[in-house]
A and B are shown apart, each in its own frame.
Chain A
Amino acid sequence: MTLTTTADSWSFLLAVILGVPALGAVVVALLPASRDRQARIVATVFAAVTFLLTIAPVFFRDRAGGWSAFGDVPQLIPWVNLDLPWVPALGLDFHLGVDAVSYPLIVLTGLLTLLCCAYTVKKVPEAGAGRTLAALLLVLEVGVLGTFLALDLILFFVFFEVVLLPMFAVIAGWGGPDRRRAARKFVLYTLAGSVLLLLGVIIVVSRAGTGDLIVLTGSPPLSRGTQCLVFALLAVAFAVKAPLWPLHTWLPDAHTEAPTVGSVILAGVLLKMGTYGLIRVGVGVAPDGAAWAAPVLGVLAVVAILAGSLICLRQRELKRLIAYSSVGHMGFVLLGIATLTVTGIQAALIGNVAHGLITGLLFFLVGTIKDRTGTGSIDQLSGLREQAPRLAGLLGFAAVASLGLPGLAGFWGEAFAVVAAVQAGGPFWLTCAALAAVGGALTAAYFLRLLRRVTHGPATPVVRAMRPSIAAAEWFAWAPLVLLTLVVGLAPALILSGTALPIVDLLGGSR
């Protein structure tokens, strides 16, 4: 029942998607120090080409239409599929594929990397060479895209690991005053997660005899006990990355210290590797294990939502506040996954993308405010509206989108996570839904508090001293995020069309 080597010439598109940023990273890193600015422009060009390539798989989606032909056997059918042997001794194939679940995240990654590279052309944080930063952004892109594209478990793990050291270098090299400690915390936490992923993945490959996700998805040949063990390992691994309370403590430090582009990539796409992995690998490979652990995940997700919101209500540092709000948003995503329903996982998918867009924008804005005023303390910021009305307006838009205003991208993920929990029924899930809804209200409370403190009121001296205008590079980086937040909010079908069948298949066709 395998659907192996469909290596027509188009499938090499996927290898090219990974190859372009990798080549770009090498080229940019090798350019001499005297050509730093040109190197950053070259990096942006490579990122732009990659972004265009990441859009391309959508033109192949119709080819995977032959669904009913496979009858009752649920099967993951990628739009484009590339399967080459790499290390047979370890059961590792270079197997890439795109389907409706991974496609939005792939485009999001291409977009955010492009925006960050473009932003770097204009603004380089002190302390390090700009071209090295741009090269590291491209390496990160390779790792993230590879993770989303991989259809082989060990390959998934390899790409999952690729982002680790580059992100460490971005934080440790270009971050704030306490960057070394924050970077070390980040790298040790996430490695602890990913070694558990290694263990889980190897157990699956050893027991099932294959790491091919097409074969494993839906109806894996694993016993229930193995599935529970594997899911427990994978859930912890992905919970560190996502991050899920109580394994989130690396996130606020990393975000606070990371440079603006680092925060954007970290929140926008790196965290998605955790939630995507949980959906694709965790639920897909060990559905029985997922069903077994779902209540625990649900409780943790609700605690994350509430804890994140409550901490945000007391938070005085802008970047830390946004970081903790990520914990809450990821809580909604995980709640959606924990319900193990089609609605819930669709909510998780759109929540993922919305969070990437909105939080990416928020980190851009907050990073700019922090750069210009020299402080991130909410107590010292006030009256932004008077000094920099455009910036304040954008911040207001992003905050309102993040708190889940209907019509903007943030709404769908949170609302439907709650709806899915209600649909799942039973007192347990109803309680989860109610508590999550309370958390949603708290989210509104802290974002409104943030807006009241920062944009309204009398302007403080630091705010009065700041430069109000928005540079062209900044508009270029922010406008797409604003637009997409609107577009996804108005037409969520853009993300969700075609996801229902793959999700049914992930869930083992049982629900």
Chain B
Amino acid sequence: MSSQAVGHLALLPLYAAAGTAILALLADLVTGRRAVIAGATLLGTLATAAAALVAVSADPTFCATGGCSWIPSWPAATTAVLFAGLTAGVLAFSLPALRLGIAPAGEFCFLLACSMTGGVTVAYAGDLITLIVGLETLTLPLYVLVGLRRFAPGERVTTAGASASVTFFLVSVVSTAVALLGVALNYAATGAVHLASLGPGPGPFAQLAGVGAALLVIGLAFKVAAVPLHAWAPATYDGAPVPVAAYLSTASKLGGVLALAAVVSRLDTRAVVVVLAVLTMTIGNLVALRQTRMVRLLAWSSVAQAGYILAALAPGEPGVAAALVYAAFFVVLELIAFGAVVALRLPGADGGEIADYRGAGRRKPWLGAALVLAFAGLAGLPPGLAGLFAKVSVVDALVDAGWIWLAGVVVLNAVIALAYYVRVSATLYTLPARIGISVTDPVLLDEAVHPSLPVPRAVAVALAGAVAVAVVLGFAPQVLFDAFS
């Protein structure tokens, strides 16, 4: 094999993302000022998104016999833009906490940008090795980010973040090992690592290749927290800082979905995916019904949402576009939900109990409206039109592929899910609880004990941006369908 020609134009998004990480590190080293570091990282995410759009029609690169390892395309560019946007959003949500010194800004931005680099790699990956390396690059910095928390002198030190981090780390390492074993078995049977040449194994090796494919899907299913491989997610989300939980639930999950989509569209893994899908959406929704903590509820709902995506992937290739469209709508709505939670809480605080949000929508109408929009979208109902079209596209894909029963399971799960989404949404607008002593105006008292804190500007801007994207995509979903088809 001769030496490969490297198409630098195609690699531009990767360069931009990796450059962002290095820039964050250098900015920390040279200036040490939080504003400069965060500003540089934000610019880097913008550059990454721009690079993805510039390089969309570049030629594939790192080509060998059998296929290419780095393939620019519209779906890849769109997901790279999503990764960049999610990174920028999560960074903005974290700024108030960084300002308080809860986490070191330089390290935080560096790790976040590294994670984005992994996401970009997953989006463009053309072979299984690149895919898994990208996925690991996406996940690895998150182990640290989940546990990265400094405590002020005198503040009670908790180990919740550290234990969440260890849980996440252990499960993730095991899952990667399983996925790699799957890749190895599949390679042994078929000799293919490039996505383009993946396929059933020849003759006697067919079963070995099938086992490899199944193991690969199971390993990747850990990443999207599919039941029964989900147990790490609620504990990790709840222990992590809320913005990092947002990143886990959006970018990290999007990476897992991309990897799964790449695999199931070429290998026949229907049996495994169907079982995972039905279990994931049903159990995710049923357990979410009983949650009393906000982030845990979001975590379980996020598990259930992964089930809908898996359902779309069950028919294989015909469902991939619907799954990616669903994932894109989902990450935007999920980012809004987490962003509203961040804005409603004190900087650096955890998600708290759902009961703590009682009346929050009356005190902060805009944040309440954003959260209701996100919940409505996640439930697949107007005014969350984005979520409605996401659900319609999944059902459409399943019915087109002849999987009407699975579409039935999906829509029935949507009914279960609505029960907890309306419960939380109604809590936001419930009048303050009656207290023992008689008060002339309970609303006034409630306002007195819940002082209205100004929403940090960075959080507000990021949230407004995410809402704007959700609304625009809700009215013009065709943009996404075009990008992913």
> Could you mark each residue 73-103 of chain A with 1 if its beta carbon is under 8 Å from any beta carbon of chain B, else 0?
0000000000000111111000000000000
* A89, A164, A180, A205 — most chain B CB neighbours (10 Å): A89
State whether B404 touches A90 (Cβ < 8 A).
Answer: no
User: Which of chain B's residues 392-442 have a Cβ closer than 8 Å to chain A?
Assistant: 392-393, 395-396, 399-400, 404, 407-408, 411-412, 414-415, 418-419, 422-423, 426, 429, 431
A154 and chain B: residue at smallest CB distance: B392
Does B382 contact A205, Cβ atoms closer than 8 Å? Answer: no
Q: Is A318 located at the chain interface by the 8 A CB criterion?
A: no
Chain B CB within 8 A of A151 CB:
no
| Structural contact, A172 and B389, CB atoms closer than 8 A | no
Asked if A192 lies at the interface with its beta carbon under 8 angstroms from chain B, I say yes
Contact A192 B415 (CB under 8 A): yes
Encoded as 1 (CB less than 8 Å from any A CB) or 0, chain B from 291 to 317 comes to: 000000000000000000000000000
Is B205's CB within 8 Å of the partner chain A? no
Q: Are B399 and A199 in contact (CB under 8 A)?
A: yes
Stretch of B27-35, B87-95, B327-335, B477-485 lying at the A interface: B477-485
A88 close to B408 (CB less than 8 A): no
- B418–A188 touching, CB < 8 Å: yes
Docked CA distance A188–B285 (Å): 14
* Contact A199–B408 (Cβ < 8 Å): yes
Checking B381, B391, B396, B482 against A206 with a beta-carbon cut-off of 8 angstroms, the contacting residue is B396
Interface check B200, CB cutoff 8 A: no
Chain A contacts for B399, CB-based, 8 A: 199, 202-203, 206
Q: Give A90 to B329 CA distance when docked, in angstroms.
A: 15
Residues of A within 8 A of B382 (CB): 143, 158, 161-162, 164-165
Cβ A173 vs Cβ B429 within 8 A: yes
B residues less than 8 Å from A143 (CB atoms): 382
Q: Tell me if A205 and B396 are in contact (CB < 8 A).
A: yes
User: Is A134 in contact with chain B by the CB < 8 A criterion?
Assistant: no
Q: Provide the residues of chain B in CB contact with A88, threshold 8 Å.
A: 478, 481
Q: Looking at the complex, which one of A90, A169, A180, A196 makes contact with B396 (CB distance below 8 Å)?
A: A90
Q: Which of A161, A183, A191 has the most CB of B within 10 A?
A: A191
A187: Cβ under 8 A from any B Cβ: yes
Q: Does A417 contact B (CB under 8 A)?
A: no
B376 at the interface (CB under 8 A from A): yes
Within 8 A of B (CB), among A180-226: 180, 183-184, 187-188, 191-192, 195-196, 198-199, 202-203, 205-206
Residues of the B chain whose Cβ atoms lie less than 8 Å from the Cβ of A196: 411
Residues of B within 8 A of A206 (CB): 396, 399-400
Q: What's the minimum C-beta distance from A379 to chain B, rounded to whole angstroms?
A: 30
**Residues in A whose Cβ lies below 8 Å from that of B482:** 89
Most chain A CB within a 10 A radius of its CB, from B393, B411, B419: B411
What residues of chain B lie closer than 8 Å to A169, measured between beta carbons? 429
Interchain nearest-CB distance for A32 vs B (Å): 11
A158: B residues at CB distance < 8 A: 382, 385, 388
Q: Is B383 among interface residues, defined by CB-CB distance under 8 A?
A: yes
User: A88 CA to B479 CA in the complex, in Å?
Assistant: 10
- B interface residues, tally (CB under 8 Å): 33
Q: CB-nearest residue of chain A relative to B385?
A: A158
Interface centre among A173, A203, A206, by most B CB within 10 Å?
A: A206
| A50-92 interface (Cβ within 8 A of B) | 86-91
How far does the alpha carbon of A282 sit from the alpha carbon of B415 in the complex, in Å?
A: 22
Q: Which residue of B lies closest to A205 (CB)?
A: B396
Q: Using an 8 Å CB-CB cutoff, how does the interface string of B50-93 with A read, 1 for contact, 0 for none?
A: 00000000000000000000000000000000000000000000
Contact between chains at B392 and A198 (CB < 8 Å): yes
Whether A202 contacts B395 by the Cβ 8 Å rule is: yes
Contact B415 A191 (CB under 8 A): yes
A314-370 with Cβ < 8 A to chain B = none
Q: Contact check, B419 vs A188: say whether CB atoms are below 8 A apart.
A: yes
Residues of A within 8 A of B404 (CB): 199, 203
Choose one: A161, A184, A195, A198; the contact of B422 (CB below 8 Å).
A184
Measured CA separation A89–B326 after assembly (Å): 13
Chain A residue contacts of B393, Cβ below 8 A: 89-90
In the complex, the chain A residue whose C-beta lies closest to that of B404 is: A203
How distant is the Cα of A127 from the Cα of B412 in the complex, in angstroms?
Answer: 33
Contacts of A202 in B (CB 8 A): 392, 395-396, 399, 407
Would B415 and A127 count as touching, CB distance under 8 A?
Answer: no
A245 at the B interface (CB under 8 A): no
Q: How far is the CA of A301 from the CA of B481 in the complex (A)?
A: 43
Instruction: Please name all residues of chain A whose beta carbon is closer than 8 Å to the beta carbon of B477 when the two chains form the complex.
Output: 87, 89-90
**B189: min CB distance to chain A, Å:** 36
With CB as the reference atom, state the residue of chain B lying closest to A143. B382
A478 part of interface (Cβ distance < 8 Å): no
Minimum CB distance partner of B375 in chain A? A165
Residue of A nearest to B376 (CB): A165
- Asked if B431 and A127 sit within 8 Å, CB to CB, the answer is yes
Interchain CB contact under 8 A, A199 and B395: yes
How far, in angstroms, from A390 to B423 measured CA to CA in the complex? 42
Q: State in angstroms the CA–CA spacing of A484 and B419 once bound together.
A: 40
Q: Which of B389, B396, B414, B419 contacts A184 (CB under 8 A)?
A: B419
Q: A127-B431, A195-B411 are in contact. Are A168 and B422 (CB under 8 A)?
A: yes
Docked pose: A161 CA to B383 CA in angstroms:
9
A202 to B396, CA, bound (A): 6
- Structural contact, B381 and A164, CB atoms closer than 8 A: yes
Contact B478 A87 (CB under 8 A): yes
Given contacts A191-B414, A195-B414, A199-B407, contact A89 B485 (CB under 8 A): yes
Rounded to whole Å, the gap between the CB of A150 and the closest CB of chain B is 14
A169 to B391, CA, bound (A): 22
**In the complex the two chains form, is B383's CB within 8 Å of A165's CB?**
yes
Instruction: Encode A128-164 as 1/0 by CB contact (under 8 A) with B.
Output: 0000000000000001000000000010011001101
In the complex, what distance in Å separates the CA atom of A195 from the CA atom of B394? Answer: 13
Q: Would A165 and B481 count as touching, CB distance under 8 A?
A: no
Cα A38 to Cα B446 in complex, Å, equals 27
Other-chain contact of A180, B389, B391, B426 (Cβ < 8 Å): B426
Q: Bound state CA distance, A164 and B481, in angstroms?
A: 26
Q: Are A90 and B392 in contact (CB-based, < 8 A)? A: yes
CB distance from B444 to the nearest CB of A (A): 14
B418 contacts across to A, CB distance below 8 A: 187-188, 191
Contact residues in B for A195 (Cβ distance below 8 Å): 411-412, 414-415
Please indicate the chain B residues that have their CB under 8 angstroms from the CB of A157 in the complex. 392
A86-B478 CB under 8 A given contacts A165-B381, A188-B419, A195-B415: yes
- Which single residue of chain A is at the shortest CB-CB distance from B393? A90
Compute how far the CA of A400 lies from the CA of B57 in the bound complex, rounded to whole angstroms. 73
| A97→B481 CA distance, assembly (Å) | 27
- Contact present for B396 and A87 (CB under 8 Å): no
Nearest CB in chain B to that of A164: its residue: B381
CB atoms of A90 and B389 under 8 A apart: yes
Contact flag A184-B423 (CB < 8 Å), given A195-B412, A195-B415, A199-B407:
yes
| B residues less than 8 Å from A86 (CB atoms) | 478
Rounded to whole Å, the gap between the CB of B187 and the closest CB of chain A is 36
Q: Which residues of A contact B412 (CB under 8 A)?
A: 192, 195
0 or 1 for each of A428-466: is its CB under 8 Å from B? (1 = yes): 000000000000000000000000000000000000000
Inter-chain contacts of A164 with B (CB < 8 A): 381-382
Tell me how far the C-beta of A143 lies from the nearest C-beta in chain B, rounded to whole angstroms: 8
* Complex Cα–Cα for A89 and B399 (A): 14
Within the assembled complex, what's the spacing in Å between the Cα atoms of A180 and B388? 24
Across-interface contacts of B389 in A (CB, < 8 A)? 87, 90
Q: Which residues of A contact B (CB under 8 A)?
A: 86-91, 127, 143, 154, 157-158, 161-162, 164-165, 168-169, 172-173, 180, 183-184, 187-188, 191-192, 195-196, 198-199, 202-203, 205-206
Query: Can you name 12 A-B residue pairings with CB atoms under 8 Å?
Result: A89-B478, A89-B481, A89-B482, A90-B396, A91-B396, A172-B426, A180-B426, A183-B422, A187-B422, A195-B411, A202-B395, A203-B404
* Given contact pairs A90-B392, A198-B392, A199-B399, a sample of 15 additional A-B residue pairs in the complex whose CB atoms are under 8 Å apart: A87-B477, A87-B478, A89-B477, A158-B385, A165-B376, A165-B383, A168-B422, A172-B426, A183-B422, A191-B415, A196-B411, A198-B395, A198-B411, A199-B407, A202-B407
5 closest A-B pairs by CB: A89-B481, A195-B411, A162-B382, A206-B399, A202-B399
